[in-house]
Amino acid sequence: MIDGIKIKNVRKQKGLSQVDLARDITTQGTISSLERNSTSPGSDILVKILNRLDLKLNDVVINDLETENDLVLTEADHFSMSYKYKDVIKALKKFQNTDDKDQQAHYQFLKVDAEMWITNNFDDAIFGFNQLLLLHEGLPDIFTILATCELGVAYSQKNDIGKANFYFEQTASLFKDFNTDNDLFWSLLIYDNLGMYYANNDKFEQCISSTTTGLNLAKKNGSVYFVGSFYYLLSEVAEQQNRHSEAIQYMIQAYSFTKFMENHLVEKKALAFLKKNNIDYLDF
């Protein structure tokens, strides 16, 4: 558990309002909820808040089972963000049994998702994601939306396009009014997956909308997660629509960001496009 009272006291000592503390990080409402101990924001946002206050996580953590599990899940989150799925499984071994359904959903999503990409066993992944949906039936939190999205991904990998389309459309519907402020990385992941779905189905305007929204959210929060992938999708759409010069500019940015983030799959595709078009990528 995060000590919201300490965060409030340090904020006031520094002469910051809740609006000041939230600026370019999150909303004033999130800061208010955090200080009342009624919510704990996602790990990316919490780290930025603590950095602005010159605090460390250990300064504001109240040790209990819930907090210890939160630390485990935060560590696993960061490994997942870097596509280090074996490290995700290793980190999750420290997770302790709990009755907290939010933590159960978070744990199960990370575990099933990591195992899916380690083993490529998409049938087991489909079973695991459906279990998660049953656990939180009727409660469209971020991890049930993610489970729905990853069902679309799993069925895509199995080339079962009809079922994949069903789950991606469900994801778009669930995500439409979702508050992305507290779950930046996972929200960007969803925008990226939806963008790929729309691109693969020649729904170009919807692809542009999803990827542009994702890019704007990343820029707003100073994040580079999925930025390379967003630019790659925008380049593909521009090429399909015969906007060749725009496609090249987008692909240059896609290559630069994916190289920086070590997203080798998209980096390789971007590089192939640039070579085909005789673009000197060594200048980037």
For residues 215 and 123, membership in a common domain is answered with: no
For residues 89 and 134, membership in a common domain is answered with: yes
- DSSP calls for 8-40: HHHHHHTT--HHHHHTTTS-HHHHHHHHTTS--
pLDDT tens profile 241-261: 999 999 999 999 999 999 888
For residues 69 and 170, membership in a common domain is answered with: yes
Q: 37 in a domain, yes or no?
A: yes
Is the pLDDT at 43 greater than 80? The verdict is no
For residues 158 and 204, membership in a common domain is answered with: no
Q: 26 in a domain, yes or no?
A: yes
Task: Count structural domains, the chain.
Answer: 3
For residues 128 and 209, membership in a common domain is answered with: no
CA distance 211 to 2: 33
Q: What is the pLDDT of residue 194?
A: 96
Q: Residue 250 burial by CB count (10 A; 0-12/13-18/19+): exposed, middle or buried?
A: buried
Q: pLDDT tier at 204 (50, 70, 90 boundaries)?
A: very high
Q: Residue 185 burial by CB count (10 A; 0-12/13-18/19+): exposed, middle or buried?
A: buried
For residues 254 and 174, membership in a common domain is answered with: no
DSSP letter (8 states) at residue 220: H
Q: 10 in a domain, yes or no?
A: yes
CA distance 178 to 143: 12
Helix, coil or strand: residue 2: strand
For residues 70 and 47, membership in a common domain is answered with: no
pLDDT tens profile 116-163: 999 999 999 999 999 999 877 666 588 889 999 999 999 999 999 999
For residues 19 and 77, membership in a common domain is answered with: no
- Residue 265 belongs to a domain with what CATH number? 1.25.40
Q: 183 in a domain, yes or no?
A: no
Q: In the predicted model, what is the mean pLDDT of the chain? A: 90
Q: Residue 143 burial by CB count (10 A; 0-12/13-18/19+): exposed, middle or buried?
A: buried
Q: Judge whether 11 and 18 are in contact, CB under 8 Å.
A: yes
Q: 117 in a domain, yes or no?
A: yes
For residues 246 and 261, membership in a common domain is answered with: yes
Q: What is the pLDDT of residue 32?
A: 86
CA distance 164 to 97: 32
For residues 168 and 73, membership in a common domain is answered with: yes
* Containing structural domain, residue 230: 188-284
Q: What is the pLDDT of residue 138?
A: 62
CA distance 207 to 195: 5
